[in-house]
Amino acid sequence: MTALSALLIAKTATAQTSTPEDDLDRLDRAVSTARPASAQTNPHLPPLNLRAGDTLDLAFSRHSFTIPPPVQNSPKAINRLYLDMRWQTPPAGDFGVHLSDRINLVNTSKQAGSTCDCLRNDLRELYTTWSPGDAIFVDLGWTNFRNGVASAFNPTDVFKDRAVLDFDTADASVLREDRLGPLMARGQYVFDKGSITAAYAPRLSDPDPFGEPNSAVSFRTGRINAGERFILKGNVRLGRDFAPEVLVFKTHGDWRLGVNLTRGLGDKATAYVEAAGGSRRTLAADAIQFGILTGALPAQATTPVGDDGKQVLAQLAAGVNYTTNANVTLSVEYDYNGAGLSPDDWRAWMKLGAAAPGLLVRGQFWYAREYAQQFQEPFLQHNIFVRAGSDNAFIRDLSLSGLAIVSPVDGSAIIQGGLDYSINGGYSFGLVAFSSVGAHDTQYGSLPSKFGIAFSISYYIK
Amino acid sequence: MSRRFDRRSFLAAGGLMILAPATARADDGRKRGQDILGQVDRVRNPGHAFRVKSTLVEYRQGRPQDQVVLDILAKPSPSTRQLRNLARYLAPARDKNKLFLMDGGSMWFYDPASSASVRISPQQRLLGQASNGDVLAANFAQDYDATYIADETIKDADRNLTDTWRLQLIRKAPGATYNKIDCWIQKSTFYMIKGRFFADSGRELKSIYYRDFRAELGGMRPREALIVDQVNTALVTKMTFSDYQATDIPELWLQRDYLPRLRIK
């Protein structure tokens, strides 16, 4: 927050009152003497977006733990050279095809373990759309169908399970841009005041274990179509700024109810609430079951803390976005995961793990954490997400962002800062650095990675 | 008691007599301001759905930076007459096909990369120093309460002395971008030639000069808006409006859930 304060002070320090004559002088200097920029742009955009780039991630491990992870690698380096493409058929007729794909050449340092050094294709979307009327759409194929209005945690995002391949940022909004869509059928009816959508993704395979080989050509059904999912949702505008979205969905064999709601608060702020609930197992119990199913954990494994059975559990994300006059957007979100570990469960697991070196309980602990990341659910019940970002900060096309995911229970946090600089909307350079801070027995102070940094360069092919 | 009551009544009556002309003047000012603003809106916007290309170039220390080009579709609401807008990025390359929708009550931003629509505030700037509300078409008379302030002679963007009416606009509709606008209307034409825009805090955010009025869609419309940033004084932004077209915009296009489906020719 200190850096944010400095940013705000620096940005507002340039402000001063100017007279009309000053304004006209500035106009004369700026516009009248400058050569007009070319505005040659075809409104009929080509249907292909291409981007080439490279990302280098470096992670540095923590060395002392209350419960040591099974494998320690320090430092770790992963380089990804990629070609990213998005394409859709030009607007004509009732049928359309959408493609979103990324071809990666992945190179991993040998200390990093099992990740492949290979060509990897990430098929994010490939689906056809049939529109028998102006307002009816039927999609079939690999579709990235995202739900939820929250920024950090989306309890209603039924298709987020194992959809992200590379966790190279703590910013969920960035992770969402590069995730895999499962094979599904989706129908949507849009009307003047709202819409109704239904989608079904079948179970096509047994689940792959974590760390499965990433072969060059794979639909990854064991990752993204390893469980049956169904969703029915609708929203309708009931007032000027009141259009709640209600969802019924089935995932992990359980039915859940959800709601999404946003509201404007003046001209600078918006507020949102996203919530879901239903009968289910806890996150830890789900993780242990998944480990048994995939053969990663022995069949007799049970949850060391909490309850293995199903119970009615709720999840909630509520937050506010606020934009300052200097165009700094601040977001604060409270996340509650009723299926996550309670503070008492966390302390109990830590105590068990510390007292039982070499036993199953340690492996289960790290397996459950991996599960929480892969299925994008907070491991503990309470989290606070804070983000500040500014586009065109100090100079044009320089974007700065900072975020923190804080455990209100133990004060530990993941802190991340990033910058992105674009030249003429073509080349883009990025830098992201994160650190996990806190005592060894805290939620984020116990993470294997203590510090990480990622460099990226990309070029948008015009 | 009776005497005290009489004195109160007398004072109240006297006060009313003093205040009455001022109140009447204020009412006249509001009526005149609203009448002028209605005429201004008729110049700024056609009364039907239309499409326009907007090119934004930001000048920093007099040097043009990269540009943003938007394809803007605007349609009046049948119930409120407020203009609802749909804007699509044509350039730069990294932003192309991103969309934002402003339907009066709310503003949504859609990024094809994440296949997600995100609620944003009117003040959030996606376009450099220009607010989303600066770029999108708006019916000021629907969004603001206007009061006539005075006759003033000011210099327009080309430094020509111009006789104007000065109006003060105060936000009426919750989705309006600014809390307050001071604007100057050229008497002979009803062109809005200058505006000063203020935040909720009362701080001036920017001045905008409008110029190069030409015949488009059955009326005279500005082809350029020059934004002088009052927060960062090194910045000036030029918005150029071109390719005006009358067009049909289906109501469905102005639905946030329709944004992923939009295929504009």
Asked whether the beta carbons of residue B62 and residue A39 sit closer than 8 angstroms, the reply is no
Higher pLDDT, B261 or A277: A277
pLDDT band at A161 (very low <50, low <70, confident <90, very high): very high
CB-closest option in B94, B107, B243 to A460: B94
Poorest-confidence range of A229-233, A249-253, B113-117? Answer: B113-117
Asked whether the beta carbons of residue B252 and residue A149 sit closer than 8 angstroms, the reply is no
pTM for the model stands at 0.84
Stretch A266-294: mean pLDDT, rounded?
A: 94
CB-closest option in A131, A145, A264 to B174: A264
Stretch A165-193: mean pLDDT, rounded?
A: 91
Asked whether the beta carbons of residue B121 and residue A269 sit closer than 8 angstroms, the reply is yes
A57 - beta bridge partners?
A78, A454
Half-sphere exposure at residue B103, Cβ-oriented, CA atoms within 13 angstroms:
25
pLDDT band at A276 (very low <50, low <70, confident <90, very high): very high
B237 - beta bridge partners?
B58, B227
- pLDDT over 80 at B62, yes or no: no
> What is the per-residue pLDDT for B126?
66
The alpha carbon of residue B84 is apart from the nearest alpha carbon of chain A, in Å, by 13
- To probe the interface with A, which of B106, B184, B197, B206 has the most A CB atoms within 10 Å? B106
CB-closest option in A39, A96, A425 to B92: A425
Asked whether the beta carbons of residue B123 and residue A268 sit closer than 8 angstroms, the reply is yes
Q: Which chain A residues have a beta carbon less than 8 Å from that of B107? A: 264
Q: pLDDT digit string (tens) for A171-182?
A: 988 898 889 999
Q: pLDDT digit string (tens) for A359-370?
A: 788 889 999 999
Q: Which chain B residues have a beta carbon less than 8 Å from that of A260? A: none
* B47 Cβ under 8 Å from any chain A Cβ: no
The alpha carbon of residue A100 is apart from the nearest alpha carbon of chain B, in Å, by 9
Asked whether the beta carbons of residue B66 and residue A425 sit closer than 8 angstroms, the reply is yes
Give the Cα separation of B55 and A190 in Å (integer).
31
CB-closest option in A12, A173, A241 to B105: A241
pLDDT band at A39 (very low <50, low <70, confident <90, very high): very low
- pLDDT over 70 at B185, yes or no: yes
> What is the per-residue pLDDT for B48?
87
> What is the per-residue pLDDT for A5?
43
Percentage of chain B exceeding pLDDT 70: 86
pLDDT band at A16 (very low <50, low <70, confident <90, very high): very low
- To probe the interface with A, which of B159, B261, B265 has the most A CB atoms within 10 Å? B261
CB-closest option in A11, A30, A268 to B121: A268
CB-closest option in A39, A195, A321 to B121: A321
Poorest-confidence range of A204-218, A275-289, A371-385? Answer: A204-218
Asked whether the beta carbons of residue A43 and residue B71 sit closer than 8 angstroms, the reply is yes
Count of other CB atoms within 10 angstroms of residue A49: 21
Q: Which chain A residues have a beta carbon less than 8 Å from that of B261? A: 129, 131, 137, 188, 190
Asked whether the beta carbons of residue B115 and residue A145 sit closer than 8 angstroms, the reply is yes
Count of other CB atoms within 10 angstroms of residue A431: 13
Sign of CA dihedral A305, A152, A387, A335: negative
Residue of B nearest to A424 (CA): B66
- pLDDT over 60 at B69, yes or no: yes
CB B114 within 8 A of CB B87: no
**Three-state secondary structure readout of chain A:** CHHHHHHHHHHHHCCCCCCHHHHHHHHHHHHHCCCCCCCCCCCCCCCEEEEEEEEEEEEEECCCCCCCCCCCCCCEEEEEEEEEEEEECCCCCCEEEEEEEEEEEEEECHHHCCCCCEEEEEEEEEEEEEEEECCEEEEEEECCCCCCCCCCCCCCCCCCCCCECCCCCCCHHHHHHHECCCEEEEEEEEECCEEEEEEEECCCCCCCCCCCCCCCCCCCHHHHCCCCEEEEEEEECCECCECCEEEEEEECCEEEEEEEEEEEECCCEEEEEEEEEEEECCHHHHHHHHHHHCCCCCCCCCCCCCCCCCEEEEEEEEEEEEECCCCEEEEEEEEEECCCECHHHHHHHHHHHHHCCCCHHHHHHHHHHHHHHHCCCCCECEEEEEEEEECCCCCCCEEEEEEEEECCCCCCEEEEEEEEEEECCCEEEEEEEEEEECCCCCCCCCCCEEEEEEEEEEEEEC
